[in-house]
């Protein structure tokens, strides 16, 4: 676009119902937040276990800052790899049952880094059509030949794999805007048969799924020989920030040597790593959070069914309500906020055209009454 075209481009976005807005919070994350000066019930964060403001996590952050200061001072390979980062990596490896883990500053960077390190320029990358933007961007940045298969369509994927060239398959474990699970056991089998990498992004399953909260691979009983690359984030169920990749010794060593988004960026603040360690322990120890979250998810789905609300078949705390039209998604979100419920409208290009939705996310911090209140407000809107 030309410099003089910018205002018109913004106006066009607004006219299409695609304008994005930020709201300012004057409180910590939690079941209730203060937004635009009002206290409302929050159904749009990824703080699935309610740990973002947990006193033990906050205390660990404070202690970490007192012991290690606020900045890591450099990238990991120069002199920014502090004891808290190292301890966090060891604990994440043990928790996910993998040889080693490598902490990245964000999940976005982790996905870019892995794909760039494992795929040669012009190599093939196959991705589910509903994958997160960072997986798509990873393939683009790597100069890969990217092809996106229809959501969950393993027949198409198998046809592409059978051409025999080197390939990497990347998939969300829990699809971030739909809440459903990828068919990981079948994907693992396909990848093994075709000697292809399988890179699983468990941003939304880590902490939430699996007996101990170790994530979607643990839920399916898949180990590192079946799924060589596990990426998960620390900013969702763990309530903090950052991400990691876990896998074999060789994989982690290769990433440490060659993942550009690991090498050329400042390491996370060490205090943040201390907070993530505390949150990780809580994920494992306070399993009542996962049980409560599962019970709320079931309650929400039963209620939605009773009111005839069109839900997607999601077994996770991500419960999207498809409204189709962009303007209607915006309108409904505004009306819910007026009634005291904050739910994000999700529109293209984040989701396919014509499938604008209210992305409702449940958290262990919510009460049954809050979920029932949201259901009643949704039913009123849909009537």
Q: According to DSSP H, which parts of the chain are helical?
A: 6-15, 55-68, 83-96, 107-118, 133-141, 154-161, 184-193, 216-220, 249-258, 260-263, 270-285, 288-306, 326-338, 368-382
Is residue 90 classed as helix, strand or coil in its secondary structure?
helix
Give the CA distances from residue 320 to residues 123, 201, 337, 360, in Å, rounded to whole numbers and listed in that order: 35, 20, 17, 5
Q: Quick check: 243 binds ligand PMP (CB under 6 A)?
A: yes
Q: What is the 3 state secondary structure string of 254-322?
A: HHHHHCHHHHCCECCCHHHHHHHHHHHHHHHHCCHHHHHHHHHHHHHHHHHHHCCCCECCCCCCEEEEE
233 binds ligand PMP (CB under 6 A): yes
Count CB atoms within 10 A of the CB of residue 214.
24
Q: Name which position in 138, 235, 270, 317 contacts ligand PMP (CB under 6 A).
A: 235
Could you say which of 107, 116, 213, 270 contacts ligand PMP (CB under 6 A)?
A: 107
From 14-22, 159-167, 181-189, 197-205, span contacting ligand PMP (CB under 6 A) = 197-205
Q: What is the dihedral of CA 34, 321, 201, 47, to 10 degrees?
A: 20
Among the listed ranges 5-13, 83-91, 107-115, 330-338, the one in contact with ligand PMP (CB under 6 A) is 107-115
366 is catalytic: no
- Using the rule CB under 6 A, is 132 a contact of ligand PMP? yes
Nearer to ligand PMP, 194 or 202 (CB): 202
Stretch that binds ligand PMP, among 80-88, 140-148, 155-163, 196-204 (CB under 6 A): 196-204
- Candidate residues 203, 246, 259, 346; the one interacting with ligand PMP per rule CB under 6 A: 203
Q: Of 33-41, 100-108, 189-197, 321-329, which segment contacts ligand PMP by CB under 6 A?
A: 100-108
- How far apart are alpha carbons 222 and 188 in whole angstroms? 8
Closest CA to 207 of 169, 237, 163: 237
What are the angstrom distances between the C-alpha of 220 and each of 36, 215, 216, 229? 42, 9, 6, 15
Main-chain phi, psi angles of 301, to 5 degrees: -65, -40
CB 209 within 8 A of CB 236: no
**Binding of residue 333 to ligand PMP (CB under 6 A):** no
Toward ligand PMP, which CB reaches closer, 172 or 274?
172
Q: Which helix (H) or strand (E) holds 147?
A: strand 145-149
Q: Which is nearer to ligand PMP, 199 or 292 (CB)?
A: 199
| 138 in contact with ligand PMP (CB under 6 A) | no
Token pair belonging to 168? 């990497």
Among 48, 108, 197, 332, binds ligand PMP (CB under 6 A): 108
Our finding on whether 201 is near ligand PMP (CB under 6 A) is yes
Q: Which of 76, 85, 236, 292 is catalytic?
A: 236
Pick the closer one to ligand PMP by CB: 124 or 199: 199
Task: Report the residue closest to ligand PMP, judged by CB.
Answer: 107
- Annotated active-site residue 236? The verdict is yes
Would the annotation count 54 as a binding residue? no
107 annotated to a ligand binding site: yes
Catalytic residue among 45, 134, 176, 218: 176
Peptide bond into 271 cis (omega under 30): no
> Which lies closer to ligand PMP via its Cβ, residue 137 or residue 158?
137
Q: Which residues bind ligand PMP (CB under 6 A)?
A: 106-108, 111, 132, 134, 172, 176, 201, 203-204, 233, 235, 243
Which are the catalytic amino acids? 176, 204, 236
**Binding-site sequence positions for pyridoxal 5'-phosphate:** 107-108, 176, 204, 233
**Binding-site sequence positions for substrate:** 20, 132, 350
């Amino acid at each position: 676009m030309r410099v003089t075209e910018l205002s018109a481009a913004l106006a066009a976005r607004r006219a299409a119902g695609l304008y994005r807005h930020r709201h300012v919070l004057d409180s910590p994350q939690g079941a209730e937040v203060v937004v635009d000066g009002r206290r409302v019930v929050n159904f749009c964060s990824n703080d699935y276990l309610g740990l973002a403001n947990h006193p033990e996590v906050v205390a660990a952050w404070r202690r970490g800052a007192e012991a290690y200061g606020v900045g890591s001072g450099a990238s990991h390979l120069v002199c920014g790899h502090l004891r808290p980062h190292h301890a966090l990596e060891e604990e994440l490896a043990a928790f996910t049952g993998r040889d080693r883990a490598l902490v990245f500053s964000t999940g976005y960077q982790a996905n870019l880094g892995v794909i760039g390190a494992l795929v040669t320029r012009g190599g093939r990358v196959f991705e589910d059509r509903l994958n997160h933007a960072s997986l798509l961007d990873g393939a683009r940045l790597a100069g890969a030949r990217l092809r996106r298969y229809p959501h969950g369509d393993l027949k198409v994927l198998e046809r592409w794999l059978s051409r025999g060239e080197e390939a990497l398959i990347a998939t969300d474990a829990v699809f971030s805007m739909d809440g459903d699970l990828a068919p990981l056991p079948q994907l693992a089998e396909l990848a093994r048969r075709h000697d292809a990498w399988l890179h699983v992004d468990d941003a939304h399953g880590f902490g939430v799924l699996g007996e101990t909260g170790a994530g979607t691979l643990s839920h399916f009983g898949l180990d590192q020989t079946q799924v060589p690359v596990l990426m998960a984030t620390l900013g969702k169920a763990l309530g903090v920030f950052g991400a990691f990749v876990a896998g074999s010794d060789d994989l982690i060593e290769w990433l440490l040597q060659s993942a550009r988004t690991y090498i050329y960026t400042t390491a996370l603040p060490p205090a943040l790593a201390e907070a993530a360690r505390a949150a990780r322990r809580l994920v494992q120890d306070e399993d009542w959070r996962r049980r409560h979250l599962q019970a709320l998810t079931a309650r929400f789905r039963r209620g939605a069914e009773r009111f005839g609300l069109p839900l997607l078949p999601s077994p996770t705390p991500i419960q999207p309500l498809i409204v189709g039209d962009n303007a209607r998604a915006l309108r409904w979100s505004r009306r819910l906020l007026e009634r005291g419920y904050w739910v994000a409208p999700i529109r293209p290009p984040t989701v396919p055209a014509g499938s604008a939705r209210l992305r409702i996310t449940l958290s262990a911090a919510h009460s049954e009454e809050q979920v029932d209140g949201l259901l009643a407000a949704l039913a009123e809107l849909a009537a």
